[in-house]
């Protein structure tokens, strides 16, 4: 009797929700560990005597490391399974964050942030691959997007720790305590089952030794550039580059922008950033429903253009609405809401690529694009010399618009069923 795969179930059950919760929790602390640094830029720079350019270089290097981590762990995830690699990546980014609290110099802080970036780069693709492979096709969009709600929650926690707690315990202690949630997550994930779609494909491959040898002779990355997948992978990489640029041009210096250029006290700027993350939480939560109903492409365009509108208003047109703080907050909310488009990556990539290279494709495209953001914090600080931080951050609106347009180069994949391939 044939075994029913999890993604063939009519409705999600206990196993589905366990996978969803574990993947979501990992993304919360993954993003928290990465973003905490942006909220500690000023106290770190003051104690270690670092310039804005040096701080931007450290932040950019951690983003570049996510590209390496995404490629390496994406390949390992397809080869050894989702469960073990997921635990490994969480352990790595937790260690990197913990060690950051000991950094006495630019050089060691750079090394520790790179370690963090390596783990961060590997975790996302693993979690999204789990969800993409196990949830029913008609609901894949909403649950993949729900996992992404971990990002605004992670940023919100980082904002509270960096904006409020840092004044009490210091920036080093903020890094020390940040390892605790990840340790808890690692412990809980021991009960996480393996993706049955991956496991079934592995069994089929093992039953055919000839095909195993043939497939093992090609690296996963080379397979991505084969005739069947080359175009899709390049389209996916460009989409990720546009979207990542929109995101990191927005957030890498947004706390500093509000504090330095708009003269907000740390407590007030933190509160305003929490409004942005509230928008992000709602955006991620709703994106999946919109994409499952209207399709992947229309949903991307709607959310991307909303983000672009909000960005233009809080940067280039700030002076126009400065007299009405509540109006500024509305547009900051819309910036966060628009980032909900990131909720489409997991479902879209799951539907574009087969099981044997799914995590490799996700990890490579998503994190190579994030790695390119090495230049983003530095570009913003260079542009800011002449046009202010608002000028640098406003570039994010252009990339948001490009994202909303580029998505139409893809085929519509809404509702596509996934199955066990036999190579």
The 10s digit of each residue's pLDDT in 46-88 is 999 998 889 888 988 888 888 888 878 878 888 888 878 888 8
216 pLDDT more than 60: no
Q: Which pLDDT does position 189 carry in this prediction?
A: 66
13-195+231-409: which CATH architecture? Up-down Bundle (1.20)
Token output for 75: 């390949």
226 pLDDT more than 50: yes
Give tens-digit pLDDT for 259-306: 888 988 877 888 888 999 999 999 988 998 899 899 999 999 999 999
Q: What percent of the chain has pLDDT over 90?
A: 33
Q: Which pLDDT does position 1 carry in this prediction?
A: 41
Q: Which pLDDT does position 217 carry in this prediction?
A: 39
Q: Which pLDDT does position 212 carry in this prediction?
A: 46
191 pLDDT more than 80: no
Please compute the mean of the pLDDT values over residues 379-391 and round it to a whole number.
85
188 pLDDT more than 90: no
Mean per-residue pLDDT over the chain, rounded: 85
Structure confidence at residue 128 as a pLDDT band (50, 70, 90): confident
213 pLDDT more than 50: no
Q: Bigger pLDDT: 409 or 70?
A: 409
**Domain locations in the chain as residue ranges:** 13-195+231-409
Q: Which pLDDT does position 423 carry in this prediction?
A: 53
359 pLDDT more than 80: no
Q: Which pLDDT does position 33 carry in this prediction?
A: 86
CA–CA separation, 271 and 221 (whole Å): 43
Q: Which pLDDT does position 402 carry in this prediction?
A: 97
Q: Which pLDDT does position 209 carry in this prediction?
A: 58
Q: Which pLDDT does position 190 carry in this prediction?
A: 65
* Angle subtended at Cα 28 by Cα 22 and Cα 30, rounded to the nearest 5 degrees: 100
36 pLDDT more than 80: yes
Q: pTM higher than 0.85 for the full model? A: no
Q: Which pLDDT does position 210 carry in this prediction?
A: 47
Please compute the mean of the pLDDT values over residues 342-363 and round it to a whole number.
82
2 pLDDT more than 70: no
Structure confidence at residue 307 as a pLDDT band (50, 70, 90): very high
Q: Which pLDDT does position 420 carry in this prediction?
A: 62
Return the minimum-mean-pLDDT range out of 108-117, 224-233, 243-252, 353-362. 353-362
257 pLDDT more than 50: yes
């Amino acid at each position: 009797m044939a075994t029913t795969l999890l993604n063939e179930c009519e409705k999600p059950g206990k196993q589905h929700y366990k996978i969803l919760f574990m993947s979501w929790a990992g993304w919360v602390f993954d993003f928290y560990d990465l973003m905490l640094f942006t909220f500690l830029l000023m106290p770190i720079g003051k104690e270690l005597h670092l310039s804005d350019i040096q701080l931007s270089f450290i932040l950019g290097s951690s983003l570049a490391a996510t590209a390496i981590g995404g490629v390496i762990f994406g390949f390992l995830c397809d080869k050894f399974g989702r469960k073990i690699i997921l635990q490994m990546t969480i352990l790595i980014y937790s260690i990197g964050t913990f060690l950051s609290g000991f950094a006495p110099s630019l050089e060691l802080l750079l090394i520790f942030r790179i370690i963090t970036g390596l783990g961060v780069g590997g975790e996302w693709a693993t979690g999204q691959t789990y969800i993409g492979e196990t949830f029913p096709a008609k609901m894949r969009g909403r649950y993949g997007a729900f996992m992404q709600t971990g990002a605004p929650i992670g940023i919100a926690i980082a904002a509270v720790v960096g904006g409020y707690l840092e004044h009490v315990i210091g920036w080093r202690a903020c890094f020390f305590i940040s390892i605790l949630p990840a340790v808890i997550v690692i412990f809980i994930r021991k009960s996480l089952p393996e993706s049955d779609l991956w496991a079934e494909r592995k069994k089929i491959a093992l039953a055919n030794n000839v095909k195993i040898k043939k497939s093992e002779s090609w690296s996963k990355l080379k397979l991505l550039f084969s005739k069947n997948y080359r175009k899709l992978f390049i389209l996916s990489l460009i989409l990720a580059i546009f979207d990542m640029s929109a995101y990191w041009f927005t957030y890498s210096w947004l706390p500093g922008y509000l504090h330095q250029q708009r003269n907000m006290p740390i407590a007030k700027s933190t509160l305003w950033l929490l409004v942005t993350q509230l928008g992000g939480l709602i955006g991620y939560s709703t994106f999946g429903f919109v994409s499952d109903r209207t399709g992947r492409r229309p949903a991307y365009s709607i959310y991307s253009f909303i983000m672009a509108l909000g960005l233009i208003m809080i940067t280039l047109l700030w002076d126009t609405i400065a007299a009405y703080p509540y109006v500024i907050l509305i547009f900051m909310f819309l910036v966060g809401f628009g980032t909900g488009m990131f909720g489409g990556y997991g479902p879209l990539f799951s539907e574009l690529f087969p099981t044997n290279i799914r995590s490799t494709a996700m990890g490579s495209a998503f994190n190579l694009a994030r790695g390119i953001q090495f230049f983003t914090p530095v570009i913003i600080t260079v542009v800011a010399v002449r046009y202010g931080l608002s000028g640098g951050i406003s570039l994010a609106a252009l990339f948001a618009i490009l994202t909303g347009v580029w998505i139409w180069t893809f085929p519509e994949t809404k509702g596509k069923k996934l199955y066990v391939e036999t190579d």
